[in-house]
Each structure stands twice: as structure tokens, then as C-alpha cells.
Amino acid sequence: MKAILSDWRKSKKFVEQRAELYHLWYRFNPMSSGRKLGDEAASQLASRATLVTTARPTNPTKMKTPLNHLHTARFSRAIFCATILCTLVFSANVLRADETCSSPYLARIDGQEEFVYVWTLGVEGMGDGSDKLVTVDVKPGSPSYGKVVSSSSVDGRNEAHHGGFTDDRRQLWLAGLESSRVFIFDVHTNPAKPKLTRTIDNFAETTGGAVGPHGAYALPGRVLIPCLSNAKDKGGKTALVEYGNDGNYITTHWLPTKEDARGASGAEFADGYGYDARVLPRKNALLTSSFTGWNNYTTDFGKLTADPEAMKHFGNTMVMWDFHARQPKKVFEVPGAPLEIRWAWGDKHNYAFTATALTSKLWLVYADDRGEWQAKEVAPISDVKGGVLPVDISISSDDKTLFVDCFGDGKCRVFDVSDPQKPKQIYEKPIGKQVNMVSQSWDGKRLYFTSSLLARWDKQGADNEQFLRGYTWDGKELKPAFDLDFTALKLGRPHHMLFGSTKIGANRTSVASIR
Amino acid sequence: MVRSFGGGTTSVSSKMPGRDRARPSNCFVLNFDRPFIVAFTLFLPVLAAISFAAEPTRDSDYDYDPPAPGSYSLPVIKPAADGALLDSNNKSVKLRDLTRGRITLLSFIYTRCAAPKACPYATGVLTQIHDLSVDDKTLAKSMRLVSLSFDPEYDTPQRLAAYSDNVRDQKSGCEWSFATAKSRAELETILAAYDQAVDKRQNPADPQGPLYHTLRVFLIDREGRIRNIYSSGTLDPRLVVADVKTLLLENARVSKQ
């Protein structure tokens, strides 16, 4: 019992519970207003309660007040009991929702998503021809459900690709792979109509040569921007870059290479390539994946695949980092361009999935019995000869289901990943002639799909469908909910989706209005 | 007994002899001769939670060994902004004076907050770190804690003084200031400078408190530069102490040069 108490006392919950009691005591004790906090019985009670369990006879200062002093504080005792009750009640998990692949540091949506933000590539001759942030209403029962409610264009075409919120969810950062510009939108003032507030257009110069910013990942007070390339040779060697939420540059961390592994094991595999970067906070683990450099992703897809030399320049690695120290610890050989990373959400689920685009495999990065991080191939994605080019994956919040979008044949394949070491495909559905990104609601009931991969890699002719499609999922089947034709709407090529809402833990009243 | 923090063996490791004296190994004694005591035993975990802090250790929420102090660097994020404050003694102070000269942990809070992962947790971590500084002279003289309320209308200096008395286990240890903004205008400027989001909740009687906010604790070096920003996912007391010690080692290296 003593050992249990001792361990518990050292735990994070100890800190939370004790502090909660302090706060709740303060809130519920009517004597706390304007005078010293109550009769101090609460805090003394605390130390005496400890005496009951640990009886520290060697500490005379604590023994000065015998336990039977408690009878002088009956009122406080009642409040104390109420405090305990309140603590237990308020400690219950608040029901929150969000996209299942968002940063764990991100402020959460209360309830269901209201908007889907779509970072859309401009197409020459289509509408204004510029990249744009398209906002689609997905509020159930809304008259404009499944319709575009606003569109905000940025300057020109930048190879719009990925984006991400700041941790307070007040800003949405959207990156251009080709121009290396980053566009910062205010999504707080009016979530239905985001407004461009700032553009970072000196990315390469500021970051020491990193180019191809690939989205933004919320960290406390800052964003982590994984990049795809470098200004020197426009190849695949690249970096992770940090900016403050205020838009100011902080630092750059280059991916480990054979020449400079920075202490990481597996240096023989290190290629310095980058793509996604995601954190498992409770393990202090940052995992990165790898794709290809500017030279390749700005080249016509047919021309690229016909060039054996160019095809050698794809990433074949993932890297595990000490997140807090931002130091690479281990390089894994994961052949065939491992792209999106999805950490499991379960409290004891120490693993992440990725899919390799060029080899059509599911890979698992996991902590083994000794706590060592390992990577291994766990399942093929289809038996189609030549592969199906899996480009995005989405894990359900209960870690049981993984949706895999395959650009090659336009299908979404669904895997049962209850046993992460043995994924089994349980369903597949054609979404379109081509499909790219997939975003899933926290309750697993709604999924949204877009079509575009890259401006020069999308299919041609009739196969070049450009859409945002909403589906429902009942655990067995994907059923269409709405369909937006981005070509007919003259919007462009839709790529990354992010969820928006007016309900982020509170209404949108500024603190300035508190009187 | 020497216990290393931040997973490292540095010259600034923490000694906690006071703790050892306070917890003899054979001291688990229960007294059942009063009903109220029996009731207490049913709430042992809760009661234990109210006791003074122990050395933070690896647990299921922070399931890793933190990096050794000095084995990594903390980039400068930006200068820590100034502002006019009122402290818990009702004295005018400049935020600048609370963020220079010592390594500072600045925590934005409001005392009515009851969101488990927000102010209560942040203050709990600061209490734990404060307790550590009682037995660590280096921390005691080199570190400062600041709890800054963004609820000045409610968190008057008197209330902050009462709050301070209740969250601080130890009167000795490092400096710990409690303050709030001198005016609403000053508060807005400070919140903007520190990128501290605060919203009024739709329901003022919300059980988690009337304000919604992101949790922010700032690590500020002696020169008044922000070197790290913590939230509930990163506010591991072991990491915070490792960061403080990393800055101390950085200072030591600079002074040697």
C-alpha cells in the first residue's frame, strides 16, 4: 500500500488532483473572498491527512497540530468533501471532437466539426487561377450543408499542399511546396470566412536553406514545419523548421544524413529526406517520414517515372527523434517513400502507422517489449501489380480502423488494425478516378475525401476529377453524403482538409469584453 | 541521497535530505480510533494528493527519460514583453523586473479555473518545482516563479495573496510572485505579446470556470528572452527542471569564456 501511494504521489495525476483541490477549495469556499483563504483548515487538513497515512514523528513542526483540531473546522470539512466530489466530477473526460490525425497539442473542437477548410491548388484559366482556401459548411441541418460558404485566394499558384492550425486554433498556416511561401489565415474572428493576415515569403533565406514547407504542425506556442527540399540542390535533403505563433522564425533542424547522423543509430540508412512529422507526447517521441525533393515533385509525373535516375531520389527512411531535445535517435529503413504518419491514440498504444507510396505497404513503427522503437512492414495494400500509390491514411480514434486512400485506382481501402501487427483489409470503395486526402471525424462517422495529389502529378483528361466528397461510415460501408465538383465550381485542385468550428471550448468573445 | 533530474548527472543535481527526513521508511501507521479518520482512509489517494510534493518521476503520462541538462539547446523564441502589474502585496511592479536576472517560469492563470489540465495543473507543477528549490540552493537563488492572472477583476491582490498562501507548500525556496495586470488595457497588451489566448465562456457558470484559455507556461532566461513554451502536453516537471538546468549550464559556459 505504501509503495502504491508513493508511486501515485509521484505521478502527474498527483499534481493535477492536488492543484485541482487547491483551486476548487478556493472557488467553493465562501470565506476565501477578500480575506486569507478561509480558516486555513483546508491546507492544514491536507498536511494532517498526510500524517494519518505516513505518521512522521520525526517532523516536529507537523506534529504540533494534532488531528483532533479538525473538529474546529466542521464547515470547512463539508466544503472539503464537496471539493472532493467536484474534483471527481470535473475530472471526467469532456466530450470533444476533432479530426483524428490532428496534433495532440491542438485546442479541440467541442462537438461536431462545422466547416471543412480545403487548401486548393489554383489552375491556370480556371476562375482566378490562384491557390485558395475554400470553406465548406458541414453543419448538419444547415441550409448550406455541403456547399462552399467562402473562398479566399492567395497570390498566384504555389503548389498548395498541406496546412495546420496553431495550438490555440486561432490561425491556419497553409504552405506552398513550389514557392515555399506560407500563408497565415485568421480562422478565429470568423471561422466561416477565414482571412489572410500574413505571408511568409522569405522562407529559404530565413531558415538557412530549407524549402518546400509541407504544412504546419501545432506545438505549444509554435508550429513545426517539416520540409521536403533544400535551396542548394533542390534535392531531398531537408529540415524541420520552427516558427512562433507570431510568425517569427525560431530554428531549423536538418534531417540526419550518412555524413552527419547527429548521433542517431541506423546512420547507414540516413538519407536526410523529409515529409511528415508527428509527436507522441507521452513518449517524448517525434517521428518523421520521407518523400522526395523539389526537382521531382515539380516534374511531370509521366516524365518523372520514365527517368530511372530521378526515381532513385525518393526517401527510404523514417527517423525517431527525442522530441524535447529535437535530436534524432534512430533511423529506420522504410523503402518506398513512407508518407503520412498516424500515431495511435490509446493510452498504451505505442505505435504509429505509415504507408509507403512506391511499394504499397503498411508499416508499423512501434515500441517493442524492451521499449525500443522498431519499424516493420505489416501488410500489403492491395495485390494490384505495380502498386496503387497509397497517399494518405486516417486512423480512427479508437485505433481499430485505418482508412487508406490509393491515388492509383481511386479507392479507399479500410483495414482492421485492432491488432496493429496484423492489419486486415475489411472493405474497399472507389471514391473517384483519383483520390488523395482523407479526413475523419473523431466519432468515426464522417469522412471527407479530396482528389488532387500534385499539380503535375494529377491524372489527365477524364480521369482528372477534382472533388471534395463527404461520406458517412457505419462501421461497414461508406455512403455518400455530398459531392462538390471543384472543376465545375472553378475552384481548382483540392488537396488538404482541416476541420473548423465556432466552438473551440468557448464562444468567440474577446477577453476585452469581460467586465 | 542524490537524485538526478532530467536524466543527467550534472553538477546541479538535486539533493533532498529534508524529504528523506520527512519520510522514514517504516512510517506507515494507520489510526482507526476515530470515525473521521476511517473515512479519510477511504480517500487515501485523494488525501495523498494534497500532501507536499515529491520528486517527479516517470509515469504513464510522461513515459520517458528526459534528456540530460546541457545535452541540448533551447533556441531563443523572442523577448519577454514588459507590462505594468500589481502584485499580491498591492504594489506596482513591472513584468520586466520579474523576467530578468533569474531564470523565470511565467505561468498565465486565473484562480477560478477548474479545468483539470489547465491552471490547476500548471500551478501544481510550479508548486512541485518550488518544493524542489527548497532543497536545491542553485535553483533557489537562480530561479523565479511568476503566476500572472488574466482575471484582474476577480483576482485582486488580496485574493492572489490568499491563493499564494495555499498553493505554496514551502515558504523558503525560490522566489514566487503572484500578480495581475494593473489595468484592462495593460492586460490586453501583455496577452497579445505572449500570444496567450483567453476567451469568455458562453456559460459563466461553466464548471471548468468562466474563461477558456490555452495553457501557457514560459521559460525565460536571465536576459529576458523566452526559451521555451509549455502546455499541458509538455509541462512535465522533469523537462522543465532539465530546461532550467540547461540554461544554468549555458550561463556557466558563457561566464567561463
Residue A162 DSSP code: E
Partner residue opposite B166 with nearest CB, options A22, A55, A322: A22
pLDDT of res. A32: 40
User: Which tops the pLDDT comparison, B15 or A182?
Assistant: A182
Architecture in CATH of A115-500: 7 Propeller (2.130)
A78–B contact, CB cutoff 8 A:
no
Question: Under a CB-based contact definition with an 8 Å cutoff, are residues B226 and B255 in contact?
Answer: no
Question: Under a CB-based contact definition with an 8 Å cutoff, are residues A407 and A396 in contact?
Answer: no
Q: Is B139 helix (H, G, I), strand (E, B) or coil?
A: helix
B201 contact residues in A (CB cutoff 8 A): 505-507
- When pLDDT is averaged across residues A365-371 and rounded to a whole number, the result is 97
Q: Are the Cβ atoms of B123 and A19 closer than 8 angstroms?
A: yes
Q: Are the Cβ atoms of A55 and B28 closer than 8 angstroms?
A: yes
pLDDT of res. B17: 28
A221 contact residues in B (CB cutoff 8 A): 77, 195, 216, 229, 231
Residue B44 Cα, gap to closest chain A Cα (Å)? 8
pLDDT of res. B257: 65
pLDDT of res. A261: 97
pLDDT of res. B171: 80
User: Which tops the pLDDT comparison, A325 or A110?
Assistant: A325
- Search chain A and give the residue with CA nearest B47: A49
Output the DSSP codes for A334-358.
--S-EEEEEE--STT--EEEEEETT
CA-to-CA distance for A344 and A124, rounded, in angstroms?
40
- When pLDDT is averaged across residues A482-502 and rounded to a whole number, the result is 97
B30–A contact, CB cutoff 8 A:
yes
pLDDT-derived band of residue A21, with 50, 70 and 90 as boundaries?
A: low
- Search chain A and give the residue with CA nearest B109: A23
Overall size of chain B counted in residues: 257
A168 contact residues in B (CB cutoff 8 A): 195, 197, 214
pLDDT of res. B6: 34
Asked whether residue B166 is domain-assigned, the answer is yes
C-alpha angle B84/A244/A277, rounded to 5°?
A: 150
Least confident of A131-140, B49-58, B63-72: B49-58
A206–B contact, CB cutoff 8 A:
no
List the 105-134 stretch of B: residues with Cβ below 8 A of A. Answer: 111-117, 119-125, 127-128
pLDDT of res. B54: 57
pLDDT at B10 over 70: no
pLDDT of res. A20: 53
A86–B contact, CB cutoff 8 A:
yes
Q: Provide the mean pLDDT of chain A.
A: 85
Q: Are the Cβ atoms of B162 and A37 closer than 8 angstroms?
A: yes
List the 7-26 stretch of A: residues with Cβ below 8 A of B. Answer: 7-26
B43 contact residues in A (CB cutoff 8 A): 84
Which among A262, A322, A324 is the top mutation candidate for probing chain B, defined by the most B β-carbons within 10 Å of its own β-carbon? A324
**Beta-carbon contacts below 8 Å between A and B:** 282
Q: Phi and psi dihedrals of B31, rounded to 5?
A: -120, 115
Q: Are the Cβ atoms of A8 and B66 closer than 8 angstroms?
A: no
Strand-by-strand arrangement of the A424-430 sheet: A390-395, A401-406, A411-416, A424-430
Residue B141 Cα, gap to closest chain A Cα (Å)? 24
- When pLDDT is averaged across residues A419-428 and rounded to a whole number, the result is 98
Helices A41-54 and B35-42: crossing angle in degrees, nearest 10, is 80
pLDDT at B8 over 60: no
Question: Under a CB-based contact definition with an 8 Å cutoff, are residues A120 and A491 in contact?
Answer: yes
Partner residue opposite A50 with nearest CB, options B51, B71, B167: B51
User: Which tops the pLDDT comparison, A230 or A93?
Assistant: A230
pLDDT at A310 over 50: yes
A73 contact residues in B (CB cutoff 8 A): none
B199–A contact, CB cutoff 8 A:
yes
Residue B142 Cα, gap to closest chain A Cα (Å)? 22
Asked whether residue B72 is domain-assigned, the answer is no
Which among B51, B171, B180 is the top mutation candidate for probing chain A, defined by the most A β-carbons within 10 Å of its own β-carbon? B51
pLDDT at A504 over 90: no
CA-to-CA distance for B114 and B213, rounded, in angstroms?
12
Partner residue opposite B162 with nearest CB, options A9, A36, A56: A36
- Search chain A and give the residue with CA nearest B227: A250
B40–A contact, CB cutoff 8 A:
yes
Q: What is the CATH number of the domain that holds B129?
A: 3.40.30.10
- Search chain B and give the residue with CA nearest A86: B207
pLDDT at B28 over 90: no
Sign of CA dihedral B84, B89, B91, B96: negative
Q: Provide the domain count of chain B.
A: 1
pLDDT of res. A26: 46
Q: Are the Cβ atoms of A284 and B50 closer than 8 angstroms?
A: no
pLDDT at A110 over 60: yes
pLDDT of res. A12: 52
CA-to-CA distance for B60 and B236, rounded, in angstroms?
12
pLDDT of res. A401: 98
Residue A504 Cα, gap to closest chain B Cα (Å)? 9
Q: Is A310 helix (H, G, I), strand (E, B) or coil?
A: helix
- When pLDDT is averaged across residues B200-214 and rounded to a whole number, the result is 89
Q: Are the Cβ atoms of A22 and B23 closer than 8 angstroms?
A: no
- When pLDDT is averaged across residues B72-81 and rounded to a whole number, the result is 98
- When pLDDT is averaged across residues A164-172 and rounded to a whole number, the result is 96
Radius of gyration over every alpha carbon of chain A, rounded to an integer in angstroms: 26
pLDDT-derived band of residue A154, with 50, 70 and 90 as boundaries?
A: very high
pLDDT-derived band of residue B7, with 50, 70 and 90 as boundaries?
A: very low
Q: Is A87 helix (H, G, I), strand (E, B) or coil?
A: helix
Number of Cβ atoms within 10 Å of the Cβ of A251: 18
pLDDT at B202 over 90: no
Residue found under cell 472493405: A427
Q: Is A66 helix (H, G, I), strand (E, B) or coil?
A: coil
pLDDT of res. B42: 46
pTM metric for this prediction: 0.83
- Search chain A and give the residue with CA nearest B56: A10
Partner residue opposite A506 with nearest CB, options B71, B201, B231: B201
pLDDT digits (tens, 9 = 90+) for B163-187: 999 988 778 999 999 999 999 999 9
Residue A136 Cα, gap to closest chain B Cα (Å)? 25
Q: Are the Cβ atoms of A250 and B207 closer than 8 angstroms?
A: no
Q: Which run of H or of E encompasses A513?
A: none
pLDDT at A95 over 90: no
A13 contact residues in B (CB cutoff 8 A): 49, 59, 61
Partner residue opposite A23 with nearest CB, options B53, B61, B113: B113
Domain extents for chain A? 2-90, 115-500
Asked whether residue B130 is domain-assigned, the answer is yes
B175–A contact, CB cutoff 8 A:
no
B56 contact residues in A (CB cutoff 8 A): 10, 15
What range defines the domain where residue B216 resides? Answer: 78-256
Q: Are the Cβ atoms of A14 and B48 closer than 8 angstroms?
A: yes
pLDDT at B82 over 80: yes
Q: Which three cell numbers stand for residue A420?
A: 496493429
User: Which tops the pLDDT comparison, A24 or B81?
Assistant: B81
- When pLDDT is averaged across residues A487-505 and rounded to a whole number, the result is 94
Asked whether residue B8 is domain-assigned, the answer is no
Asked whether residue B35 is domain-assigned, the answer is no
Asked whether residue B230 is domain-assigned, the answer is yes
Residue A63 Cα, gap to closest chain B Cα (Å)? 12
Q: Are the Cβ atoms of A24 and B114 closer than 8 angstroms?
A: yes
B48–A contact, CB cutoff 8 A:
yes
pLDDT of res. A62: 28
Residue B185 Cα, gap to closest chain A Cα (Å)? 8
Share of chain A above pLDDT 90, in %: 77
pLDDT-derived band of residue B233, with 50, 70 and 90 as boundaries?
A: confident
pLDDT at A19 over 90: no
- Search chain A and give the residue with CA nearest B73: A325
CA dist list (Å): A51 to A82, A368, B10: 22, 42, 34
A242 contact residues in B (CB cutoff 8 A): 75
C-alpha angle A106/B230/A98, rounded to 5°?
A: 10
pLDDT at A54 over 90: no
pLDDT of res. A13: 54
Which among A1, A5, A12, A329 is the top mutation candidate for probing chain B, defined by the most B β-carbons within 10 Å of its own β-carbon? A12
